[in-house]
Chain A
């Protein structure tokens, strides 16, 4: 029995590990007479040999998939080992790991077993066991299966802290090419439902709606019907555990306010399996942030786990440098007040591998600089390469008491080897020569190479010279069957290859709702 469980856990963990998100952040909740809590900042519990943090027990409920997505290890035609967790097995493992402080909570995903609804029910039962029988109060992130019934999604949302639906690929053309059973509508319908339910939850939180809210009006489906089903499930789970009533029911009426996915929703897309440019990807993620109030859009560099004529060749190393630069650009979107159009222009649709997107923007807009740190606004400070939100805040704070001197900047966390070319401090400029983009680019590059050489004994992803030699799989001649230009033209519906986000196709539906 136990060795069987170990097999299941490794098979289903192995299949889940390509999901990027592992954050346990966004929800803050004290113990409340149950086991566990959630910390808003998230807590990492371990780091795997590839350096990614492990915060949640990331597993699939089942990897027995009926879909045949071309990039996926668990596609129907692959000969992977198959396993499925019984809800009580998974709930027990989660509890045992949690009380030993191995994990911060559960990240439950699944392959599509039999049908989306069947799979979702299995997952829901696991969550119900955890929350109602084990009184588990830790973090739960649930992956939504595309095409799931809205009632099931609502019930799952009430048990979860965070929900996510993967967009999988940055454009609908690539989606139909590589994951033919998943349609944009199946992906965006749950996203829209999550966004709307959360919006309703926020606006309806008045005296009469403290414990319950109905999602009938705007979402166009009957929440009450879904609730009846949930009550049945709870009764069934209680009976199986040998209880007449669920212990949490009384508890909930008193203290526990039902909340639908308090930590919001995220999504993920695979980078480098399809030919989109970085600009297209950034525009897509910007649209996702705006339209669905996403907390995060995750990128995962494509790892060729299966060979397929429509995909980049097997054994090509994942393009980690590109993923890294995309995340930097993502940070600029979320925390630095940049727009996708500023970061990448029509003429330069791909990110520079050698330098980060912020310094590239600064070099392109050299006329704005140098900025005087003692008079620039907070927003302007954020635009200086080498100044982050923390150091910008510190500069603002100290300015209230006394002027910021050049010597202070380093102590405030400013990265001077980049920043000094773009700022003046009490009127003095500290870059060696004139303010000239080509010269600055040269200097910064040379310094970062020297720094990398100092660590050369150790292998590092950030080793610029090594990674720069890798081919960019995005617009790659090695991709058979797909011609980059025809695909781009078919995506955009125009012949000049202008990039139009797949979300534009959804615009009328969105506007109507």
Chain B
């Protein structure tokens, strides 16, 4: 049977709960999908699982207690990635975890664990990359703020928050995820994530273009002609990020 849920982490945990408490083998999960993206077929039955905070909390607590806090975090990280069929991969990991206990994360050779490690690493890689690759512009709204646009593969906003909040706590800033129409808004030591459509909200500050020209000029001067190696550059800084990189003539 296919489970459909609303796309939230609690919704997914409710599905896990349902799987464990299914009355018959027919009602066990064969696939878990976000309802809006589901394309069913005629053969398999599908049921929408209503998100239930109480059941979700029970699963949450069970994972933390019987597997480990480390694995709970890992499960959440993987949930925030765009891994294909991540829900079923996670369910298999959770089941293995309940059988093997806290050592499950160390079974590097197991294909179930391997998949999850790989997905988690992808998230970590992207967060690390974006810590460097985000480019702010100084814009005017009611006051001067820093504004950056990104189109990341994974849902990384909340993982970027601690780093940038610590670094720029005296400047208010916005990191706008255009793919998901979400934005991280931060000022002082506080931050939150909210929905934000892309509607050319802001006006660039007067000296913004001058600073950009300085940066571009400097960037071009730094390449050593005798060592040019575009493939290496692209490996380190994938072309899909260039759109928003000032030095790569983005934006």
- Chain A residues near B (Cβ < 8 Å): 2, 5-6, 9-10, 13-14, 17-18, 30-31, 35-37, 39, 43-55, 57-58, 93, 96-97, 99-102, 104, 138, 303, 317-318, 320, 394, 397-398, 400-402, 404-405, 407-408, 411-412, 458-461
The number of inter-chain residue pairs (CB within 8 angstroms) is: 154
- The reply to whether A14 and B221 contact each other, CB–CB distance below 8 Å, is yes
Chain A residues, CB < 8 A from B170? 35
- The reply to whether B236 and A58 contact each other, CB–CB distance below 8 Å, is no
Q: How far is the CB of A213 from chain B (nearest CB, A)?
A: 28
Chain B residues, CB < 8 A from A57? 218
Chain A residues, CB < 8 A from B128? 43
Excluding A9-B217, A100-B135, 20 further A-B contacts by CB distance (< 8 Å) are: A13-B222, A14-B222, A17-B222, A46-B132, A50-B228, A50-B232, A51-B227, A51-B231, A52-B227, A54-B219, A54-B222, A99-B146, A303-B227, A401-B103, A405-B109, A407-B109, A411-B111, A459-B229, A459-B230, A460-B231
Q: How far is the CB of A297 from chain B (nearest CB, A)?
A: 20
Specify the chain A residue showing the minimal Cβ separation from B212.
A100
Specify the chain A residue showing the minimal Cβ separation from B132.
A45
Given A37-B166, A47-B233, A99-B171, check contact A13 B221 (CB 8 Å). Answer: yes
Secondary structure at the A interface, as helix, strand, loop or mixed, is loop
Chain A residues, CB < 8 A from B235? 51
- The reply to whether A51 and B214 contact each other, CB–CB distance below 8 Å, is no
Q: How far is the CB of A300 from chain B (nearest CB, A)?
A: 10
- The reply to whether B233 and A397 contact each other, CB–CB distance below 8 Å, is no
Specify the chain B residue showing the minimal Cβ separation from A461.
B229
CA A101 – CA B108 in complex, angstroms? 36
CA A51 – CA B222 in complex, angstroms? 11
- The reply to whether B221 and A394 contact each other, CB–CB distance below 8 Å, is no
Chain B residues, CB < 8 A from A49? 223, 228-230, 233
CA A102 – CA B222 in complex, angstroms? 14
Secondary structure at the B interface, as helix, strand, loop or mixed, is helix
Given A6-B217, A10-B217, A17-B221, check contact A397 B211 (CB 8 Å). Answer: no
Chain B residues, CB < 8 A from A36? 167
Interface residues on B, range: 35 or more
Given A10-B217, A37-B167, A408-B108, check contact A50 B211 (CB 8 Å). Answer: no
A sample of 19 cross-chain residue pairs with beta-carbon separation below 8 angstroms, ordered by A number, consists of A9-B217, A10-B217, A10-B220, A13-B218, A14-B222, A17-B224, A18-B224, A30-B166, A36-B167, A43-B132, A48-B233, A51-B235, A99-B171, A100-B136, A101-B148, A138-B167, A400-B106, A459-B229, A460-B231
Q: How far is the CB of A330 from chain B (nearest CB, A)?
A: 19
- The reply to whether A9 and B210 contact each other, CB–CB distance below 8 Å, is no
Specify the chain A residue showing the minimal Cβ separation from B170.
A35
Complex interface residues of chain B between 183 and 239 (CB less than 8 A to chain A): 210-211, 213-215, 217-224, 226-233, 235-237
B169 at the interface (CB under 8 A from A): yes
- The reply to whether B231 and A398 contact each other, CB–CB distance below 8 Å, is no
